[in-house]
Chain A
Amino acid sequence: DTEVTQTPKHLVMGMTNKKSLKCEQHMGHRAMYWYKQKAKKPPELMFVYSYEKLSINESVPSRFSPECPNSSLLNLHLHALQPEDSALYLCASSQGEQGLGSYNEQFFGPGTRLTVL
């Protein structure tokens, strides 16, 4: 299984809602990532989990809360979002966060298209 899956594919939420994005991989990868991508822009790194521990938080507002329950799962909990948070949220995984060569090759899921009203 060489796939990263993300659910849901689309999500519409109000500014007072609480929702969660889910990501799953079964490749034995030990690093997982959340990215945010706005239209016609490159993906921007939000969080990195390495061996189920948060290792990088790129100054993301606290209304985004990541969680890594185990090595295969990554969640992104959303609360009190703003309309400008509407974007494609991409999950990725790689063999390891740190190291040479193929450890850095990230495999991406299809993304969750989030709209905040």
Chain B
Amino acid sequence: DQQVKQNSPSLSVQEGRISILNCDYTNSMFDYFLWYKKYPAEGPTFLISISSIKDKNEDGRFTVFLNKSAKHLSLHIVPSQPGDSAVYFCAATNYGQNFVFGPGTRLSVLP
């Protein structure tokens, strides 16, 4: 049973437009959520995170939104750049225990 789901295996976006990556979770005990970006043959790189006590966190071009009642979070990238093309993993944890990754969404930003 997948506790963290990313229902879109892939997403294509034009350069300069907004990319929206979605993530759903089932475990209401998760209290912290993270987004990682992964290029081929490299380890995941931490992007941005959000605590369950917040509903939004922004860092430059990246914004994460959390809707606790819907158990849904999303990552917005604006403007999207070709260098953003990678696989994006959503991850969730409960006080550092039970650290779970979603299956990933492959983002392609087209020039």
Contacts and interface: CB of A to CB of B under 8 A. Distances in A.
Contacts of A41: 103
A89 B46 CA distance: 17
A105 B49 contact: yes
B32 A106 contact: no
Interface residues on A, range: 20 to 34
Q: Which secondary structure dominates where chain B touches chain A?
A: strand
Contacts of B67: none
Interface residues of B, number: 23
A104 B44 contact: no
A43 interface: yes
B51 interface: yes
Interface in A2-50: 4, 6, 31, 33, 41-45, 48
A44 B103 CA distance: 10
B45 interface: yes
B25 interface: no
A109 B32 contact: no
A101 B46 contact: no
Contact of B97 (A56, A102, A111): A56
Interface of A: 4, 6, 31, 33, 41-45, 48, 56, 90-92, 94, 96-111, 113
Interface of B: 31-32, 34, 36, 41-46, 49, 51, 89, 93, 95-97, 99-104
